[in-house]
Amino acid sequence: MQQTLVLVKPDGVRKNLIGEIIARFERRGLRVAALKLVKITKKQAKFHYAEHDGKPFFDELVDFITSGPVAAMIIEGENAIKAVRRLMGATNPLDSVPGSIRGDYALSIGENIVHGSDGEESAAREIKNFFTPEEIY
Ligand code: DAT
Ligand code: MG
């Protein structure tokens, strides 16, 4: 069993896509283990995206992810990290296949609807940044 952190980013929340996105995970057989709507602080955003600190798009990324509430969730299941990444589609929506979340709902890399952890180490760090153990079921 693996757990991964998923965010429906502010653009996905603004487009009323929370339910649609959760439905895709649930239909696949993955389980929601924690769920809440939160407005991320700048500090939390910088920690979440620490691997991108120093890149030219870092400030824009932090501004965007803090621009409105996100739907934060832990998705759990067999190989959940990779399964979620495949359901999300490629980082640049222009390369995301139709049928994937980004391939169906996004056009720009800066506003690509959804986040999913990219490995076990990042999943553990990202989950701790959003949820206390008591919030996980
Ligand atoms: P992913 O979200 O698929 O894990 P990532 O971790 O490489 O992709 O980057 C995090 C986010 O940063 C990504 O969802 C959108 C933004 N981003 C990545 N590369 C970018 C670029 N070249 N220009 C603008 N934004 C970018
Ligand atoms: Mg990433």
User: Among all chains, which residue has been given the structure tokens 């739907």?
Assistant: 71
Mean pLDDT of the chain: 98
Q: What share of the chain in percent tops pLDDT 70?
A: 100
Instruction: Note the ligand closest to the C-alpha atom of 56.
Output: 1
User: Mean pLDDT across the stretch 112-121?
Assistant: 98
Candidates 25, 45, 115, 116; catalytic one: 115
How far away, in angstroms, is 13 Cα from ligand 2 center? 19
Q: Give the pLDDT band of residue 66 (cuts 50, 70, 90).
A: very high
CA distance 105 to 59: 24
Helices then strands, counting H and E runs in the chain, come out as 7, 4
What is the rounded distance in angstroms from the CA atom of residue 86 to the CA atom of residue 72? 18
What's the Rg (C-alpha) of the chain?
Answer: 14
Q: If you average pLDDT over residues 61-80, what whole number do you get?
A: 98
| Among 21, 84, 72, 17, CA closest to 44 | 72
* Phi, psi at 58, each rounded to 5°: -60, -50
Provide the pLDDT for residue 122. Answer: 97
Binned at pLDDT 50, 70 and 90, residue 37 comes out as very high
The answer to whether 71 and 62 are in contact (CB under 8 A) is no
* Ligand lying nearest the CA atom of residue 126: 2
The mean pLDDT of 19-29, rounded to a whole number, is: 98
Q: Could you tell me the two tokens for 50?
A: 């620490």
Q: Quick check: pTM over 0.95? A: yes
